[in-house]
């Protein structure tokens, strides 16, 4: 279950920033951002149940300084 989004849509994120807290039967996990860019959208809300490999957010990735953004799934 998604507990708490640490970033909001429109915020810039860095690789490995903590993006969201996810609760399992045994643990609370801090899920890191998989890419540097901007959090373009949240697909799953706090309190939603999710499974592994499920799309929860979209990050517009930056490949380097001044590079155009591309979509990346979190």
What would the pLDDT profile of 10-60 be if each residue is shown by its tens digit? 999 999 999 999 999 999 999 999 889 999 999 999 999 998 889 999 999
Indicate the domain borders of the chain: 2-73
The CATH number corresponding to 2-73 among 2.60.40.10, 3.40.50.970, 3.40.50.1980, 2.40.50.100 equals: 2.40.50.100
Nearest Cα to Cα of residue 47 among 9, 7, 2: 2
Task: Please give the pLDDT value at position 63.
Answer: 63
Name residues whose C-beta falls within 8 Å of residue 23's C-beta, 6 or more positions apart in sequence: 1, 2, 3, 29
**Is pLDDT of 66 > 80?**
no
**Is pLDDT of 67 > 60?**
no
């Amino acid at each position: 279950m998604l507990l708490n989004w640490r970033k909001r849509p429109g915020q810039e994120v860095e690789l490995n920033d903590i993006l969201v807290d996810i609760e399992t039967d045994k643990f609370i996990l801090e899920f890191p951002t998989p890419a540097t860019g901007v959090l373009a959208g949240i697909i799953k809300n706090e309190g939603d149940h999710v499974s592994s490999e499920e799309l929860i957010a979209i990050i517009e990735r930056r490949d380097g300084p001044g590079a155009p953004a591309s979509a990346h799934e979190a």
